[in-house]
C-alpha cells in the first residue's frame, strides 16, 4: 500500500508576525486538524517551523542563486492510498472548516501545496 503525502508550504498572512503565525498555527489550527483527522483519513500530521536563522537562510538562498525567501513552515499530512476519497459529506465539511481557519493566518495564494506518493530512500531510525 502506497503512502500519500500532502505537503503544504506556508507563508503567513501579510501584517502577521512570525510569532503570531507560529502561535496560531500551533495552538489554534493544529487542534482543529487533530479533531478532524479521522474523518479526513489523516494518518499523521506534522508541522515543520522554519528556524529563525537569517544568516543560514541567506547562505541557502545564495547557494541556489538567489532563491526566494523561505516559507514560514511546512505542514505534512499522510494518508493511506486506499483511504483517498472516503469520508463523504463529513470530510467535505471538515475540509471546508479547515480552509476557513487557514484564511486567518496563511497567505493562501502564496502557499503552494502538492499531493504525492512517498518513497522512502534512507529509512528513518526514530
Q: Classify strands 113-117 and 3-10 as parallel, antiparallel or unpaired.
A: antiparallel
Q: Beta partners for 57?
A: none
Which residue in the block uniquely carries the three cell numbers 528513518?
124
The pLDDT of residue 58 is 76
> Which residue has better confidence, 6 or 125?
6
Which residue in the block uniquely carries the three cell numbers 486538524?
33
pLDDT in tens, 70-103: 889 999 999 987 665 567 899 999 999 999 999 9
CA distances to 28, 53, 116 from 6, rounded to whole Å, are 20, 26, 6
Q: Which segment of 14-18, 22-26, 54-58 scores lowest on mean pLDDT?
A: 54-58
- pTM here is 0.84
pLDDT-derived band at 49, boundaries 50, 70, 90 = very high
CA distances to 1, 29, 43, 98, 106 from 80, rounded to whole Å, are 7, 23, 7, 20, 26
Return the CATH architecture of domain 3-117: 2-Layer Sandwich (3.30)
Amino acid at each position: 500500500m502506497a503512502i500519500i503525502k500532502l505537503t503544504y508550504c506556508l507563508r503567513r498572512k501579510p501584517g502577521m508576525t512570525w510569532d503570531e503565525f507560529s502561535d496560531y498555527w500551533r495552538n489554534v489550527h493544529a487542534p482543529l486538524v487533530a479533531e478532524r483527522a479521522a474523518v479526513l483519513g489523516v494518518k499523521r500530521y506534522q508541522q515543520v517551523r522554519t528556524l529563525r536563522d537569517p544568516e543560514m537562510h541567506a547562505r541557502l538562498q545564495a547557494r541556489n542563486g538567489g532563491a526566494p525567501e523561505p516559507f514560514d513552515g511546512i505542514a505534512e499530512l499522510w494518508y493511506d492510498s486506499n483511504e483517498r476519497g472516503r469520508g463523504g459529506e463529513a470530510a467535505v465539511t471538515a475540509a471546508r472548516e479547515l480552509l476557513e481557519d487557514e484564511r486567518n493566518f496563511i497567505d493562501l495564494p502564496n502557499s503552494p501545496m502538492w499531493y504525492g506518493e512517498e518513497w522512502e530512500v534512507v529509512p528513518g531510525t526514530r
